[in-house]
Amino acid sequence: MYSASDLRKGLKVQIEGSPYIVTEFEFSKPGKGQALYRCKMRNMISGNQLVKTYRSNDKFEKAELDERKMQFLYNQGEEFHFMDTENFEQLSLTREQMGDNVNFLLENMEVVVLFFSGRPIDISIPIFVNLLVTRADPWAKGDTSGNDTKPVTVQTGYVLQVPPFVEEGDKIQIDTRTGEYVTRVKE
């Protein structure tokens, strides 16, 4: 069981028998008032949106999903192909089903494919991934624009904010739950 305080982007819950993934989440709490958990959720089967505000005493069932370790092969347009490395069975998922995970996916990466009633509906990737910086503007020392971060592009095409010392060719660790920079990785 989850309670409302567990709600966050990416959490998978079960509502009236269907698995939902939280796609947008906002915590709010008016002065002296109670905590409110405002969620946008996507039905992982039908794709339908659900917008709802919960209170702290609300409870949720965990989505009942089966897991299988698979390898990411390649993507072709909107389709992402995976293979079971034991029996070589292949399957594909759409970009919409993959959500933000597409930002961190590299060919040959080991992932967990999630199934609901036998159908693949999502994947789960490591919390931390290391990706190569393929584009970064040099940092002008003495920059007085007041910016403490700068944007870089990593090998998947994903763009994120990093500290100014990160350079092209560096490997950086990213927290896939938030999509944010964690640290620079020494090889």
Partner 1 sequence: MLGLSGLHRRAALLRLVRRFFEDEGFLEVDTPVRLPLAIPERHIKLIEAEGQYLQASPELCMKRLLARGCTPIFQIGRCFRKGERGRRHLEEFTMIEWYRSDCDYRQLMADCRALCRYLQREWPQDPRRVESTGLRSIFPSIDVHGEWQGMTVAEAFARYSPRPLSAALHEDCFDELLCEYVEPHLGQGCPTFLYDYPRALASLSRPKPGDPQLAERFELYIGGVELANGFSELNDDVEQRQRFAEEIKAIHAAGGTEMEMPEVFLDDLRHLPEAAGIALGIDRLAMIAFDAPDISQVVPFTPEDFPTLSP
| Residues engaged in binding partner 1 (CB under 8 A) | 5, 26-36, 38, 53, 56-57, 127-128, 144-149, 163-164, 175, 178, 180, 182
Nearest to 100 by CA among 24, 173, 168: 24
Distance of alpha carbon 114 from alpha carbon 59, whole angstroms: 23
Parallel, antiparallel, or unpaired for β 159-162 and 119-124?
A: unpaired
CB of 52 vs partner 1, minimal distance in Å: 11
The CB-of-152 to partner 1 minimum distance in angstroms stands at: 15
Virtual CA dihedral for 132, 133, 134, 137, nearest 10 degrees? -170
**Nearest approach, Cβ of 131 to partner 1 (angstroms)?**
16
Task: Please give the distance of CA 86 from its chain centroid, rounded to a whole number.
Answer: 26
Report the nearest approach of partner 1 to the CB of residue 175 (Å).
5
Task: Count the Cβ atoms, other than its own, within 10 Å of residue 169.
Answer: 9
Report the residue number, 147 or 155, with the smaller CB distance to partner 1.
Answer: 147
